[in-house]
Structure 1
């Protein structure tokens, strides 16, 4: 029999706050973390805004010398993981054996920012001036590796790299590890620090990013005038724990992770399959895995990127899976406030899902002003609503045709 898995700790670094609780306060109040990009001169780009993490000092969370040997995405992961493990009341070697706690943290891009910096140095000053830590600063798995070192976690150590589904797949795969009894606890989530010149250039040239210079309206999922996503950065980490282990140590429980579905489109490198066919199957698998009916889902945290095809096909997928019940659902995109954190997106959205269950507050899709006739679900426009929520389904869809859906349930 599969073991039950609950969430006992959370940690986050986001454009809306350098902890999960500040971030959530802003989310439920409809506050946007989007602002003009400040990391480099944006004059040559037609994109002007993003979701940058603000006032982050890695030395608040780790040794300064070691921080300088980490990529920014790894620094985010270490900081969020330490917050999550503290929130869970866990001390490795004390109330959890080192061999019984693992780490699974995904990143879609890894340390591209450091690669760009070191490549410029290579061209300007030659190979001997390249940072000797460049490789561990850029490879995507190093966030998980560094977190395990910082925490002393000796269980399975892994990283999912599935573009914008990286955080979702990492948490879903970590969920399976605990279900199968391999460990008692997992530090799981996603991290990203990809607001770089090359990233902006690449996404811009494929016309994926919003060119709206107004930070107050650039990220507008499900709006008829949406023109692309707004890139963002940060990290989200959950402490997943086997239920009986959590109960035995008296842990607080945010909610239970009950369903996971993952599929591939086998269709196109960037465009989702027509009508969200792969997303449909991921949602159906998650619902089946959770042992519930579609009618029991109260709220969907949508992938909702603010791109034309994602919002259209995700809407069609929801209607296909839920039928008439789709029109009773609340569906919103918190990316309207955070921007799109790529490989970290679903990880912070998982945290929001848990707060929604605990507080009975459904966050809005802000900037939703002009109705699109093809998008006719209840996207909770502009203002949060109060409603009891027992079951949340959250979607994550990535370039390459990666689809993942997970379901949280109120713990009973």
Structure 2
């Protein structure tokens, strides 16, 4: 019993009640967000679209996501976290209903782009609210639990989506809309606004005189952009599992069921093991953890160079999944540490742009690489991982010195909080 209590304290103890309502919202949101997983199948089977048209519509959803993550960041700072979350979820539910009832392909494409936009808007608001609520020494655990909830929800969504898609595509979209509304209800009921504005925000050098800072500030913050670039490389590695790996497995004579087994193994490892990650990494410096985790992903994907059977793919999946599990908490916490209070949402939005960017680059360049280089493609992927690991080792110390200096400044009684000092340092 004592050991169990200690594990709970290390994993989730000390987190405010509002965090758990946000966590529940993330879990419900992800568990119900399954309609777009089957969008291409819906278009070809139910609406008679060609594969090319279906691909273009799915691409419109992705393009909307890139716009939505930036818009969500701006609104998170202007409207507030709660207002942005509510607006995004309620709008998503309405668009899902419209998409379920639409029959014209042009209208479906337009609605898909809008759904992609509002689907991405909550990400900066969720993270900004967590940073607002959770003390700095507990954020690693909070982000670890967020990552776990996201993946647990996605695992549930994958199971439900297959059942609903076989029964009715209409039910697929309508149940998704209901789950989205349920998330909005939890937020409206239990999550207050967490953004507390200062009467006189500290000036930022990147902002023109007399004007509030905007997206220009994170886009000119070299320390932050270096971190974003390294995160982009990590995202490109992660995207291999859903974009290029299925093609490589098919070339090795493995069917969809084998691919599903590899993906399911990764999801099961995250669901079962993610809660134990904080005890493994809390004693180590964040940039070292990120270097090790990225190195593990490089080894995992590099191993596919010699893959010729399911066993190698499964073993490699274990290695790169462990790497992604270790990377999630420090990645999110570093992003939070570098973000000024007034621009927390905007910093999150720039960070989250790495995911739609990687979702475009990974399949576009990866498909060409696999076609012309074959198995050597995985050597390139592994090399990118090694490059990212080295980048973390080089960029980590100056980044951590900045954060440490801000904390020391506050401790000496400068009259400013660490966040206010961080604003001045940007």
Range class of TM-score, shorter chain: under 0.3
**Structure in which a larger fraction of residues adopt strand:** 1
* TM-score of the two chains, using structure 1 as the length reference: 0.27
Q: Compute the TM-score of the two structures, normalised by the length of structure 2.
A: 0.27
Bigger radius of gyration among the two? 2
More helix by share: 2
